[in-house]
Structure 1
């Protein structure tokens, strides 16, 4: 199951996740969740519901159906955050109704066995994750204080969707690609232009814009200059596969990392293109293969975060490649999976992802830890992020509220 396919499914969920994924299964879940028995005790012990909730659900005057609806539609989404929903699923598995719950959520018996799962089972896992995602999104609220930190930029048209790898500051202007369209922020207005190739990635190298494009007929990917998009400068090495590779420009080099295919294969390849000679150098492979990961660079360090791993699930792994020592270093994982990396004031910042879609955190190199920043106004993953105008962190696109472009300024 390729990530592009999962994004399409996620896009459907983002349209109206509650109606699409929860309501059709709710009555069946209500009939199977035993709110009278050990499930309530387990959820209480894990801190997923309070003692007051526990006592209210235990009232004999409330029917089982009403109790189950309250649990699934109100209490758990309201109380649950992040790993709490994994605990919820685990608690369901540990009850006598495990078989029914597994069937309702369409899960394989154990997620740890997913390497041996069929593609159909992987699709079922995605469907289950969308149910839990929808339960969270329905009850997430924007913080009242966010407005003083995150500001809204003017919106380009048409509305943005997935902008991963398609946003950069080029020649002093925030630049966003949408298919064959390029939007540049000039003053307080967006200027739209059309190019003849489909942009998969935008990167800045020596303050010049470069793009990654692909040819579905020859099954090849190319690097070209943005201003001369039809002239191929270099062909991307085949070991990066053809889906969801990641790119970034740094000084006079362009780095290409990972990638996947239409199946379950992901690449560990890391390649470096010299923009002066258009020659490739193969670098040391990543510790684990990933597609649709995010990249950031500081000095002689190449950072990689998020993405899809060999189990076809989102990861929060965070690693650094020391270009001088030529070695990979494992760092503290991000709080979210599928986050987008960028640089702000010389530090790595991670935005969005799952499960906290509005989260923003900054990496502290001295303590190898992540510190929270004010959350974004919109919930995002599959979005783009970059620093422009020196100290403004821009984010755009994603699966939810996708046409909202906002920025954070220190």
Structure 2
């Protein structure tokens, strides 16, 4: 049996990250009760914690130093699951991402270590998603194919917006494609000496991230689809964000830029916010997961980031969120698939498509709705087309629209009640 000082004791991974855990772990009545139910805490230990001073630091110190190291090593996984249940999964990621115990007990191979992290955090992943035919037979609403399709297929990575009755898709071949319903026509708009990498929209503001080949830098520009001069400079991305694969989300007057990939293919977890009113950049806390080409969206007062690439031929199913009130990142339940597209519809988070495994080349048509009450994902009717790297947006009618993706140029929509 591993002792409290045994190098093989997984609880030591907590003390190795003591300063981080003390700063971020919240020991409240909800956490204590869940730890009791999971068998991690005894009633006497729980009483001592609840009687402890109101100082969070003292409670965390007692839990990490005096209580947990004496518990059975086999309870470590249960402890990690409880943290994830109460919305503190980002601490689990920090611990397991650097834990010697995990590396030794699972494998030193990075892929297997990531799979172990998924196993700990993935207990909310639904495995009962219906097929398209099953959904139809069950009387569930099904996805409707649109009569029109995109001029070409390709990766748009969530870069799709609806503005002034025009459907705007960015990122495919570095150009912007605009569909006008009244004319039933697609127009292609290219940025001279530039490559459009992503596009976001809030109310009447449409922003694009452009790689300016002439200036050799990434910029944020405002896009005006109805005007002759369509591109107007807004700002230049900070030096630490001058890279491919950044994820962007727009909330009111704030543009959030997260992650990315350097020229040496190294993924980053940098996060920045640009205030469109003041014209100033703000440094945010780093995101727990380093990734590029992630999908992001805003639901109410929370920015969600999920999917993307975390390594060479390695995809992610981790979803993290940044609360604009508390200004802190946390993890939620992992999604069923990897490299999913996240979309906000009627103030709810929906994940669509992606890949079936972290190293898979098999796309999926699965659709999931995140449920705050159960802190897990609920299955929705699947798309008619298996997609990954696709774009999406939500309409005022409560419809969610998905289009494009690898080897796909079709468009389909689903009404979500």
User: Is 1:213–2:210 an aligned residue pair?
Assistant: yes
Q: Which runs of 5+ in 2 are unaligned?
A: 1-105, 112-130, 357-362
How far does the alpha carbon of each residue in 1:214-260 deviate from its partner, in whole angstroms, 9 at most, with x for none?
02454411111111544321001122241111111111111111100
When the two structures are superposed, what TM-score results if normalisation uses the length of structure 1?
0.62
2:161 paired residue among 141, 147, 168 = 168
Q: 1:113 aligns with which of 100, 109, 114?
A: 109
Q: Which of 139, 142, 156 is residue 149 of structure 1 equivalent to?
A: 142
Q: What is the match of residue 180 of structure 1?
A: 175
Q: CA deviation at 1:181?
A: 3.6
- Specify whether residues 215 and 300 from structure 1 end up closer, same or farther in structure 2 by C-alpha distance, changes over 3 A only: same
RMSD of Structure 2 on Structure 1 (CA): 2.7
Partner of 2:329: 328
Deviation at 1:173, TM superposition (A): 3.4
Q: Secondary structure at the match of 1:239?
A: helix
Q: Which of 395, 408, 412 is the aligned partner of 1:406? A: 412
1:2-401, aligned counterparts within 5 Å? 113-114=109-110, 143=133, 149-177=142-170, 178=172, 179-187=174-182, 189-196=184-191, 197-216=194-213, 218-227=215-224, 228-310=229-311, 313-355=314-356, 357-400=364-407
The structure 1 segments of at least 4 consecutive aligned residues displaced by more than 4 Å after TM superposition are: 144-148
Structure 1: which 5+ runs fail to align? 1-109, 116-140
Q: Is the 8 A contact 2:218 2:242 kept in 1?
A: no
Kindly state the Cα deviation for residue 145 of structure 1 after the two structures are TM-superposed: 5.2
Give the superposition deviation at 1:306.
Answer: 0.8
Q: 1:348 to 1:185 in 2, by over 3 A?
A: farther
CA 1:397 to 1:222, structure 2 compared with 1: closer, same or farther past 3 Å? same
Q: TM-score, normalised by structure 2?
A: 0.61
Query: 1:278 and 1:184, CA in 2 relative to 1: closer, same or farther beyond 3 A?
Result: farther
Go from structure 1 to structure 2 and tell me whether the alpha carbon gap of 1:172 and 1:336 turns closer, same or farther (over 3 Å shift).
Answer: same
- The whole-number CA distance in structure 2 between the counterparts of 1:370 and 1:225 is 35
Q: Against the structure 1 CA distance between its residues 329 and 259, is the aligned structure 2 distance closer, same or farther, given a 3 Å change threshold?
A: same
Counterpart of 1:249 in 2: which secondary structure? strand
Q: Paired residues, what number?
A: 277
